[in-house]
Structure 1
């Protein structure tokens, strides 16, 4: 799917639910400054054109300041403000975006304009083998689940 098609697919799903309004460009800029990397273009578009988080999957991804929270987590910059991970297991530029529960997180690689997706589970971090567009469309279709994330975990 193209970015335009992904934006439209998320917009259609967003119309069916209650989502926060789009993010102000200033809130996106503050998140980028805190994280130290620009948002992948697709994620930026979704935040400023569709909704400030809350979409795909289940209760939705975290937004930037003023957007959708998830559990005790207010926004992506809040999670990143002290650095990517004090333990050093999560490389700089990987941003927590969705908590699947049970210490399983999906992360977006802000160093990559396509937004390569990563998984973190019990302190281990690995690439999922999909980009943000594929992750979003997979979660919308129900083909990308917590089970499929864990199946992508490399074996030692």
Structure 2
């Protein structure tokens, strides 16, 4: 699917979800200033042409200038990238799966390589932001565990009682 086709699909979904109007270019520029890297082209277009958040899986990605963006992205980056060194500079949280699990996008890559983060560990997903969005719009996107296998824990046991197992 081309970027223009992805934009069209995301625009339709944003309208169905009654997502907010597009972000002002100044909000994107301020986010880039805080992060220290330019947005990947497709992500920039979605924020400035489609909606200030709300596109992507389930309830969508956060807006660039308020709420979740400020809490999870802007505030940490104001102090520099992850001080633990687990998350490379320019790899930015994009979608909160809950339970300290995030899909992240690499601002250093023009195609927006996608990463996963869970419990402080970070790894490449092996797909681009465009591929991630296509999977989301097709209803096939799931959290990307390393090797496709979640760790053994109370929350991730294959036979966990209903309501305790991650999707």
Output the CA distance in 1 between the equivalents of 2:114 and 2:18: 26
Does residue 116 (structure 1) correspond to residue 113 (structure 2)? The answer is yes
Q: Which residue of 2 aligns with 1:63?
A: 63
- Worse overlay, 133-142 or 108-117: 133-142
Task: Verify the 8 A CA contact 1:62 1:76 in the aligned structure 2.
Answer: no
CA contact (8 A) 2:92 2:106 kept: yes
Equivalent pairs, count: 150
Following the alignment from structure 2 to structure 1, what is the Cα–Cα distance between the partners of residues 65 and 72? 6
Partner of 2:95: 98
Q: d(CA) in 1 for partners of 2:114 and 2:76?
A: 17
Answer yes or no: is the 8 Å Cα contact 2:17–2:54 preserved in 1: no
Match of 1:3? 3
Conservation of the 8 A alpha-carbon contact between 1:64 and 1:75 = no
| Structure 2: unaligned runs, 5 residues or longer | 151-167
Q: Is the 8 A contact 1:65 1:74 kept in 2?
A: no
Shift of 1:55: 1.5
Normalising to structure 1: TM-score of the pair?
0.88
Cα distance in 2 between the residues matched to 1:78 and 1:142: 31
Whose Rg is larger? 2
TM-score (norm 2): 0.82
Mapped to 2, the partners of 1:86 and 1:18 lie a distance apart of 37
Which residue of the partner structure matches residue 83 of structure 1?
A: 80
Q: Is the 8 A contact 1:37 1:111 kept in 2?
A: yes
RMSD: 2.0
Counterpart of 1:107 in structure 2 is 104
